[in-house]
Structure formats: C-alpha cells, structure tokens
C-alpha cells in the first residue's frame, strides 16, 4: 500500500516538476485564417476542437488588417496608433525614412510591454518563448525573452511544435508562455486566392498540425496543465486583374514615396507636392471610383490609426475586391515563381481592408484548464486578448486599450475554480490521510516487533547469561525492567 502511494505521489511530483509552477499558455497564430474557413470543411479537427472549448464566431481585429499591426495588437492590447506598427511598412518622419521589418518598426516607445515581456517581468520562474511570432525577437523593456526562434519560412511545422514542447518541459527554465506562429494560409493564400484548392489543402495541413500539438501535449502529460489559444490576425479576400488600379498614373513621378502594400497605401509626398498629390488622387477617386483618399487628419477615428506620427500624410484605401499596381507587380513575381498563368479570371488574395469588412475577420478558439468547455462567446476585440492572456497567466496587465469585461466569459469562473480546488484539496486530503494511516500502522508494527525482540533478548539473557550477557542483552534487560516498572 505504502509503495503504491509512494509511486502515485512520485508520479504526480514528476509531472508537476517537469513544467512551470505558473499557469501555462500557448498562443498559436495561423496567419490569415479567415473566421469562416471552417465552412470549407478542410479543418475538421480544429472545428471539433473549437466546439469542445470556447470559441467566438470571429474577432474584431485592428486596422489596417495587416499582419504586423495585428500581431502587435494581439501581443500588446494596443491599437496601432498606440503601439506604432501602423503598417507592414510605413514612413517615420522622425527617422525620415520608410521603415520595414526591423527593430525600429516594433520598438516605438520604451513603455510598450508585449505579453511575452510582461510575463517575465512579473516574477521569477516565469519564462516566455517565441516561435517566430512577428516582432518578438526584439528588445522590449531592455531585455530579450528566454526562448526566441527567429522567422524562417522553411522551418518544419512539426519541429516548431517539438521545440516549444521542449521549452515548456525545460527542467531549469520551463516556459509558461509560448507564442507560436504559422505563416499559412497567408503566404500561399496571396498567390492562389482564398477560394483556391491550395488554401483548402493548407487548411488540411494546418488541421494536422493542430492535432499534432494536442497529441504532443497528451504524450508529454501536459494536456491537463496547458491552456492553448488558437487564433488568427485577419482574413483574406479575392481580387482579379481587371480590378487592379494603377494610381501612379495620377501622380507626378519623383514627387512622392509609397509605403505598405495593397489595399492600403501610405503616400508620402515631397513637401512641395502635398496639395497637388492629394488633389490628383481625390479627382481620380471621384472619376474612377473604387478607392478612397484621406488626409491624415480626416482618417476615421474608429480605426485608432491616425494619432501617431507614423500615420501617413495621405492614405489611399482600395474598396473590397480592388487593389493597386503593387499587386499587379506581385502577380508577375508569383507567375514566375509558381508557374501560374495570369488571366482576367485569376484570383489573388488580399487583406488590409476596413476592419468592419467581414472578410477581414479572423477566428478565435481556446481550450485548457482555465477555459470554459463547450462554450461560445460573442465576438470581441483582438486588443482584449492581452487582458485574457494576463488573466490566464495570473499577472497584472499594464495599461492597454482592451477591456477585461469582454473576455471574462471565456474563463472558468472563480466559483468553478474554487469548486475544482476544493475537489483537488479533498483528493489530496484523502491521499495524505491514507499515507498517515499506513505510516501509523507501519510504526505500530515496528514498535510491537521491537518490543518482542527486547522481550526475547532479555529472556535469553536471563536463561543463558554466559552466551547472551552482551551489551545488547544487558540494555534489553534494563529496558524491559524500566518499561515494566
């Protein structure tokens, strides 16, 4: 019995010591996984999984619906005008140049603390890891997180999962927060369009990797301890060549710069050409339609995009279903690289449109010990995720643009947690009681046995003094006499 108990306690101890003493969270991003891709029936495992845990029909992401701004809003709980990543590339008037993927893009201000940094700031024994999450490899709060694997489009998806599991199981620095990124169905979604067989096949491949994550959690005894959030940054919609608009024809060459890509272009006119550039673009928009032109000050406040020095002086946004000349150029590159014929019917994938356009909405689902089971929540804002991560990790958030109210419904309530804690305590109490009873019985047996030995030695000592009159025999005799007295 004791042996059995020892084995059980030992096994429990092994599991507990293999992972962090803090709540554990994995956030998985599947780039450009549109909220309604489940309807394609390519991701059946994911669909089953989302109904087992908590899911929302979609999330309200941030504008522009591009990869880098959205990943940073998920990670910081801030709108692009607050975190400064206002596009996949943009002009910074302070640095006087166009900023592309680099440290300068992400570290807009020193007080921006992404969740991976906050997790480590909030206490000893908390370790974060980033598996290719956009922007996570840079210094925030003057430090790097413990585990960082840099972006590598060729890195095997299964190895990415194996690596994050090894971070979580690291015996000295077990990660309790891991951000995991997959670049699909974005990368090929641009080339073949969201309704293509290629995207359908990618959904199946991603479904297999989701299943693999779960299998690995189970195989490593982690499934009961680890919370996993699966989400995306934005959706995707189709554009065909007849809807490519060449706006450069409305501009005077060598008088402007353009940053970012379709459908949202940042126009940076030379200082003497601001009025003329705006006037020409507005006129073209009126005559040809299918795109809008804004002065920075006129950008809609609801986008939370304009109040930043990096927001463009002039902004051009294509209507859904339309794109600009940069896509025509990208299409030529795709044609060469992927051996595709471009016809008027060809479809390419584009995102970046208004975040109220439903095609731009990403999915959300979560599962784990802190997540409600078989539960659906109303759509919420991606800036709310920061507070959700903090609640799961049991850390205090820093100021952000999200709301906690919206995400409370995702979590198992305190009352339910107390119930489970009470149950847990009861189980431990039973185990400890059993152990105490067993130990008590063992000690009693030992005492009785010892008593019998003493009596036997003392008796033998009395009968055969020459043979047994040893120190032990004399001590036994004295003991027996004192206990009898």
Helices 414-463 and 2-18: crossing angle, nearest 10°? 140
Residues paired with residue 231 on neighbouring β-strands, in sequence order = 29, 364
The secondary structure of residue 396, as a DSSP letter, is P
73 near ligand AMP, rule: CB under 6 A: no
> Does 15 engage in binding with ligand AMP (CB under 6 A)?
no
334 secondary structure, DSSP code: H
Q: How many residues bind Zn ion (CB under 5 A)?
A: 5
Burial 201-236 (b: 16+ CB within 10 A, else e): ebbeebbebbbebeebbeebebbebbbbbbbbbbbb
Q: Is 257 helix (H, G, I), strand (E, B) or coil?
A: strand
Instruction: List the one residue out of 407, 413, 381, 368 whose CA is nearest residue 49.
Output: 368
Please identify the residue of the shown chain whose CB is closest to the bound ligand AMP: 67
User: Which pair of structure tokens corresponds to residue 12?
Assistant: 């429990």
C-beta atoms surrounding 196 within 10 Å: 18
Establish if 354 lies at the interface with Zn ion (CB under 5 A).
no
Site residues for ligand AMP, 135-154, by CB under 6 A, read: 151, 153
Rounded to whole angstroms, the Cα distance separating 471 from 248 reads 109
Least distance from C-beta 233 to Zn ion, angstroms? 4
* Closer of 23 and 349 to Zn ion (Cβ): 349
Which range touches Zn ion (CB under 5 A), out of 108-116, 230-238, 288-296, 340-348?
230-238
Residue 260 touches Zn ion, criterion: CB under 5 A? no
| Structural tokens at position 38 | 């489940």
d(CA 481, CA 485): 6
Which of ligand AMP, Zn ion, none binds 134 (CB below 5-8 Å, type-dependent)? ligand AMP
**Residues with Cβ < 8 Å from 468, sequence gap 6 or more?**
457, 460, 461
- Residue 186 found at the interface with Zn ion (CB under 5 A): yes
List phi, psi (to 5°) of 451: -60, -45
Q: Does 273 bind ligand AMP (CB under 6 A)?
A: no
Q: Is 66 in the site for ligand AMP (CB under 6 A)?
A: yes
Token reading at 289: 């339609």
Overall residue count recorded for the chain in this entry: 485
Q: Which does 88 bind (CB under 5 to 8 A by kind): Zn ion, ligand AMP, none?
A: ligand AMP
Q: Clarify whether 67 is annotated catalytic.
A: yes
Q: Annotate each residue in 205-244 with x if it binds ligand AMP (CB under 6 A) or - if it does not, as one string.
A: ----------------------------------------
The one segment of 15-23, 40-48, 180-188, 207-215 that binds ligand AMP by CB under 6 A: 180-188
Residue 67 is a binding residue for ligand AMP (CB under 6 A): yes
Query: Nearer to ligand AMP by C-beta: 81 or 326?
Result: 326
Q: Which residue is nearest to Zn ion (CB)?
A: 67
Nearer to ligand AMP, 168 or 191 (CB): 191
Is 366 in a helix, a strand, or coil? Answer: strand
Task: Say which entry of Zn ion, ligand AMP, none residue 101 contacts (CB below 5 to 8 A, set by partner kind).
Answer: ligand AMP
Q: Which one, 151 or 212, has the nearer CB to ligand AMP?
A: 151
Residue 201 and residue 195 in contact, taking contact as beta carbons nearer than 8 Å: no
Is residue 134 at the binding interface for ligand AMP, with CB under 6 A as the rule? yes
Q: Annotated catalytic residue: which of 54, 65, 67, 117?
A: 67
CB 67, min distance to Zn ion, A = 3
Sign of the alpha-carbon torsion through 332, 338, 339, 343 = negative
Give the three-class secondary structure for 181.
Answer: strand
Nearer to ligand AMP, 222 or 350 (CB): 350
Site for Zn ion in 50-89 (CB under 5 A): 67
Which tokens go with 213?
A: 């994550």
Shortest gap between Cβ of 325 and ligand AMP (angstroms)? 16
Only segment of 183-191, 203-211, 373-381, 418-426 that touches ligand AMP (CB under 6 A): 183-191
Rounded-to-5 percentages of helix, strand, coil across the chain: 45, 15, 35
From residue 419, alpha-carbon distances to 191, 414, 449 in Å are: 51, 8, 45
277 lies in the binding site for Zn ion (CB under 5 A):
no
User: x/- contact string, 20-39, with Zn ion (CB under 5 A)?
Assistant: -----------xx-------
Q: Which among Zn ion, ligand AMP, none contacts residue 151 (Cβ within 5 to 8 A by kind)? A: ligand AMP
**What is the CB-side half-sphere exposure of residue 133 using CA atoms within 13 A?**
33
Positions touching Zn ion (CB under 5 A) are: 31-32, 67, 186, 233
| Residues taking part in catalysis | 67
Positions touching ligand AMP (CB under 6 A) are: 31, 66-67, 88, 101, 134, 151, 153, 183, 186-187
């Amino acid at each position: 019995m004791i042996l059995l108990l020892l084995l059980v306690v030992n096994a429990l101890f092994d599991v507990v010591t293999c992972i962090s003493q803090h709540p554990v969270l994995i956030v998985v991003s599947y780039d450009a996984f549109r909220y309604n891709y489940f309807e394609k029936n390519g991701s059946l495992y994911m669909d089953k999984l989302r109904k087992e845990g908590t899911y929302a029909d979609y999330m309200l992401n941030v504008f522009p619906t591009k990869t880098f701004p959205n990943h940073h809003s998920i990670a910081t709980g801030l709108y692009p005008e607050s975190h400064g990543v206002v596009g996949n590339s943009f002009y910074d008037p302070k640095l006087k140049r166009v900023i592309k993927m680099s440290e300068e893009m992400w570290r807009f201000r020193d007080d921006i603390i992404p969740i991976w940094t906050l997790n480590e700031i909030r206490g000893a024994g908390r370790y974060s890891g980033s598996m290719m999450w956009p922007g996570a490899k840079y210094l925030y709060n003057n430090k790097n997180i413990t585990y960082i694997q840099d972006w590598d489009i060729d890195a095997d998806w299964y190895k990415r999962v194996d690596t994050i599991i090894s971070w979580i199981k690291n015996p000295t620095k077990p990660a309790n927060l891991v951000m995991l990124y997959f670049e699909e169905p974005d990368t090929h979604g641009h080339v073949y369009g969201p309704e293509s067989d290629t995207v359908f096949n990618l959904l199946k491949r991603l479904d297999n990797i989701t299943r693999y994550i779960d299998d690995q959690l189970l195989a490593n005894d982690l499934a009961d301890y680890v919370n996993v959030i699966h989400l995306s940054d934005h959706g995707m919609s189709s554009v065909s060549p007849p809807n490519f608009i060449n706006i450069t024809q409305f501009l005077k060459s060598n008088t402007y710069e353009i940053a970012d890509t379709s459908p949202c272009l940042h126009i940076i006119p030379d200082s003497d050409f601001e009025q003329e550039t705006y006037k020409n673009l507005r006129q073209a928009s009126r005559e040809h339609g299918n795109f809008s032109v804004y002065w920075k000050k006129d950008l809609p406040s609801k986008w939370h995009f304009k109040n930043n020095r990096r927001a463009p002086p002039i902004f051009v946004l294509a209507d859904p279903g339309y794109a600009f000349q940069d896509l025509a150029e990208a299409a030529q590159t795709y044609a060469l690289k992927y051996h595709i014929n471009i016809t008027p019917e060809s479809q390419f994938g584009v995102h970046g449109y208004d975040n109220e356009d439903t095609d731009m909405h990403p999915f959300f689902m979560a599962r784990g010990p802190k997540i409600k089971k078989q539960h659906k929540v109303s759509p919420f804002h991606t800036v709310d995720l920061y507070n959700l991560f903090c609640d799961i990790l049991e850390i205090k958030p820093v100021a952000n643009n999200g709301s906690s109210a919206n995400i409370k419904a995702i979590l198992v309530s305190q009352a339910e947690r107390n119930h489970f804690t009470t149950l847990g305590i009861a189980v431990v109490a039973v185990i400890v009681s059993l152990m105490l009873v067993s130990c008590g019985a063992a000690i009693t047996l030992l005492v009785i046995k010892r008593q019998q030995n003493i009596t036997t030695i003392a008796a033998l000592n009395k009968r055969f003094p020459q043979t047994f009159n040893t120190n032990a025999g004399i001590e036994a005799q004295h003991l027996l006499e004192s206990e009898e007295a």
